[in-house]
Chains A and B, each alone.
Chain A
Amino acid sequence: MAMPQMDPAKLQLVQELEIEMMSDMYNRLVTACHRKCIPLKYHEPELGKGESVCLDRCVAKYLDVHERIGKKLSNMSQGESEDLTKVNIPEKK
């Protein structure tokens, strides 16, 4: 999962970037699922049952899409760089 042979300073930079990207993704996830699952009429402060179930599914689907797109993107960029250099493929599930 982590990139091999990298000096600690660079590794930390990569890790910070990863955390930042994660929290950005999380914020987008909350915004998207809130928009899709919570009706604009705020009659009560509690989450309704339907709303809760919708949120659960929304999170699962969002992360699914996130993973799929990630795979597609890395496939695409791998295809591009494959002709230039033989890099070891970063293993990612």
Chain B
Amino acid sequence: MTTPGEMSEADQIKTFKDFLTQYNKLSELCFNDCVHDFTSRKLRSSEDKCTVNCMEKYLRTNQRVSQRFHEFQMIANENMLALAQKSPN
């Protein structure tokens, strides 16, 4: 076991992997949603702005979904506990 507050190596690798996966997904999403014009080699300023907004918005989306998700998790856990206490087997 690890000391509290410190991640095991496996956990750290998992976190890093999740980060990279998220990074790739974000690039794909924002590229597909923001970049449509290939008449120029450089990113247009509108494309640049769009991609940055896209990224920030996605992260905020994730944050909000995470909050709601955990609320539902908590309720589900409480229900499960109540159920287990009512009928111990």
Say whether A and B bind each other. Answer: yes
| A contacts, CB < 8 Å to B | 1, 23, 26, 29-30, 33-34, 37-38, 40, 42-47, 51-52, 55-56, 58-60, 63, 91, 93
Check if A46 sits within 8 Å of B62, measured CB to CB. no
Main SS at interface, chain B: helix
Q: Which of B34, B49, B61, B89 contacts A34 (CB 8 A)?
A: B61
Q: How many chain B residues touch A (Cβ–Cβ < 8 Å)?
A: 30
Check if A30 sits within 8 Å of B61, measured CB to CB. yes
Type the 1/0 row for B32-57, where 1 means its CB is closer than 8 Å to any CB of A: 01100000000000000111111011
If A1-B84, A93-B76 touch, does A42 touch B64 (CB 8 Å cutoff)?
Answer: no
Main SS at interface, chain A: helix
Q: Which of B30, B51, B53, B58 contacts A44 (CB 8 A)?
A: B53
Chain B, Cβ-Cβ closest to A44: B53
Chain A, Cβ-Cβ closest to B87: A91
Task: Please name all residues of chain B whose beta carbon is closer than 8 Å to the beta carbon of A38 when the two chains form the complex.
Answer: 57-58, 61
